[in-house]
């Protein structure tokens, strides 16, 4: 997509976001940053934002707190058929630019692999893998809270509506594996008990760090890798064409999550015992079953019925997921390390993010030199001089800080 099209798309989304609109209905993207010699990092970030907006067209959303105005009108405007259709029209080109190159790069490496061997190797690898590099690093810093806060914020892109993307993969009619997937989904939604729904448990953890729990509330401070991970998940689940890759996503996600969530649960117990870590404790337990269900009730019967080409698609989806999670994890650690280095130099200060950081200019490392003033970096704090942001890893984003 050329910048001119994205600017037009962004202007339309801004027009559809009236002043005072609830955060769940905020449709804006950073198209204004594209007008003046946009850098590569700015273009990639705004593309990811626009792709996220196309996927959000499919979610039922209501504000948590009653907003002034007619909620019926808000829904009619948010999901206006012509505007929704126009926004969806950008999706294929964005997926082609942002996600399909990754899929194509994966193909040669997985050619000829059998899915049973792949699963055996993956289970072994995940269970033997060393503890999270991020949590290990966090154990060694004097103040971990702002970094953990940032981890939660970046994860919230998906987790504040956890399993809603995968819900789109269980509608239709496709035999016994569909029912197994539906049983997993029931658990994700707390088997109908609101307080047990995973997205609600995640909110309980966010509250423990004083964070905003409104879906879409933190979009201005998501970094590019967090958006990429969110968009990979939706790329898979929003099209039935990707059915077997969706199953690959679940295979990888359910299997790796049972291990990583256990580490987070123990970290919170040790360092933030007052915070509700049920979200992580629950996953460390239930994802053992989910992983087993995906392998034995979904992957194996489908491969037995339709043959090895299904297995290849499952592996492709699992590998795409593994790469997106690994990139997000690596980036999360690198950005925290860059901030900690700046802080130790006296060039940065911890600060909680604003609950609404929209309306402040987007800064990327490759545009840092163009700005003056302080920059809010994710959920961590303020970098005193924008130019110092140039030392941060590609994919980091900041907001020019306005004192309020």
Binding site for Fe ion (CB under 5 A): 188, 198, 254, 287, 290
- Smallest separation, CB 149 to Fe ion (Å): 21
Instruction: Enter the tokens of residue 117.
Output: 């061997």
Nearer to Fe ion, 188 or 319 (CB): 188
Are 247 and 170 within 8 A, CB to CB? no
Kindly tell me which of 158 and 287 has the beta carbon lying closer to Fe ion. 287
| Dihedral angle sign, alpha carbons of residues 184, 168, 45, 17 | negative
Query: For Fe ion, which is the closer residue by CB, 102 or 167?
Result: 167
Question: Using the 8-state DSSP alphabet, how is residue 131 labeled?
Answer: P
Among 315, 177, 198, 194, residue whose Cα is nearest residue 257: 198
The residue among 282 and 366 lying less far from Fe ion, judged by its C-beta, is 282
| CB 10, CB 34: distance < 8 Å | yes
CB of 163 to Fe ion, least distance (A): 6
> For residue 399, what are its two tokens?
């907001």
In angstroms, the CA 246 to CA 166 distance is 8
Q: Residue 262 or residue 365: which is nearer to Fe ion going by CB?
A: 262
Question: Could you tell me which of 255, 137, 147 has the C-alpha nearest to residue 209?
Answer: 147
The distance of closest approach from Cβ of residue 336 to Fe ion in the complex, given in angstroms and rounded to an integer, is 24
- Shortest reach from residue 162's CB to Fe ion, in Å: 5
Nearer to Fe ion, 94 or 250 (CB): 250
Half-sphere exposure of residue 271, counting CA atoms within 13 Å on the CB side? 21
> Which of 267, 277, 258 shows the shortest CA–CA distance to 202?
277
Query: Which lies closer to Fe ion via its Cβ, residue 188 or residue 223?
Result: 188
280, containing H or E segment: helix 278-293
Q: Round to whole Å and give the CA distance between 113 and 107.
A: 11
Q: Which is nearer to Fe ion, 147 or 202 (CB)?
A: 202
Q: How far is the CB of 317 from Fe ion (least distance, A)?
A: 16
Provide, rounded to whole angstroms, the least separation between the CB of residue 402 and Fe ion.
36
Q: Which residue is nearest to Fe ion (CB)?
A: 198
Which residue lies nearer to Fe ion by CB, 39 or 263? 263
Kindly state the smallest distance separating residue 175's Cβ from Fe ion, in Å: 21
Q: Which is nearer to Fe ion, 276 or 366 (CB)?
A: 276
**DSSP code, position 381:** E
Task: 124-129: list long-range contacts, CB under 8 Å, 24+ apart.
Answer: 126/255, 126/256, 126/259, 127/259, 129/259
d(CA 364, CA 362): 7
User: Tokens representing 97?
Assistant: 């630019």
Question: Of 302, 293, 310, which Cα lies nearest the Cα of 175?
Answer: 302
Please choose, from the candidates 163, 135, 162, 126, the residue with its C-alpha nearest in 3D space to the C-alpha of residue 255: 126
CB of 243 to Fe ion, least distance (A): 18
The answer to whether residues 1 and 37 touch, using CB atoms and an 8 Å cutoff, is: no
CB 237, min distance to Fe ion, A: 14
Find the angle CA(211)-CA(87)-CA(319) to the nearest 5 degrees.
65
Q: How far is the CB of 122 from Fe ion (least distance, A)?
A: 16
């Amino acid at each position: 997509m050329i910048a001119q099209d994205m600017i037009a798309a962004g202007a339309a989304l801004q027009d559809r976001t009236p002043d005072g609109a609830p955060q769940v209905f905020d449709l804006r993207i950073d198209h204004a940053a594209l007008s003046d010699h946009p850098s590569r990092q700015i273009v990639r970030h705004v593309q990811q934002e626009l792709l996220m907006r196309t996927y959000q067209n499919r979610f039922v959303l209501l504000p948590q707190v009653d907003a002034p105005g007619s909620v019926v009108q808000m829904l009619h405007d948010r999901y206006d058929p012509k505007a929704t259709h126009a926004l969806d029209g950008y999706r294929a080109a964005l997926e082609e630019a942002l996600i399909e190159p990754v899929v194509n790069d994966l193909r040669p490496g997985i050619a000829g692999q059998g899915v049973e061997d792949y699963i055996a190797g993956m289970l072994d690898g995940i269970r033997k893998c060393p503890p999270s590099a991020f949590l290990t690093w966090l154990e060694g810093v004097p103040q971990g809270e702002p970094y953990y806060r940032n981890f939660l914020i970046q994860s919230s892109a998906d987790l504040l509506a956890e399993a809603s993307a995968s819900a789109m993969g269980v509608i239709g009619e496709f035999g016994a594996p569909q029912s197994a997937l539906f049983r997993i989904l029931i658990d994700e939604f707390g088997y109908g008990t609101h307080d047990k729904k995973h997205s609600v448990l995640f909110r309980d953890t966010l509250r423990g760090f004083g964070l905003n729990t409104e879906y879409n509330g933190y979009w201005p401070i998501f970094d590019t890798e967090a958006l990429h991970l969110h968009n990979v998940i939706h790329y898979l689940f929003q099209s039935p064409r990707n059915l077997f890759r969706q199953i690959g996503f679940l295979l990888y996600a359910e299997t790796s999550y049972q291990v990583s969530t256990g580490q987070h649960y123990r970290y919170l117990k040790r360092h933030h015992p007052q915070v509700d870590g049920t979200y992580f404790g629950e996953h460390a337990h239930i994802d053992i079953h989910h992983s087993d269900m995906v392998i034995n009730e979904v992957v194996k019967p489908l491969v037995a019925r339709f043959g090895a080409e299904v297995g290849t698609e499952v592996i492709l989806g699992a590998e795409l997921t593994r790469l997106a999670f690994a990139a997000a994890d690596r980036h999360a650690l690198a950005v925290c390390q860059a901030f900690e280095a700046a802080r130790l130099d006296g060039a940065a200060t911890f600060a909680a993010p604003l609950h609404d950081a929209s309306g402040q200019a987007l800064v990327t490392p490759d545009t840092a030199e163009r700005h003056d003033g302080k920059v809010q970096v994710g959920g961590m704090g303020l970098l005193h001089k924008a130019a110092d942001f140039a030392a941060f890893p590609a994919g980091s984003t900041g907001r020019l800080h306005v004192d309020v």
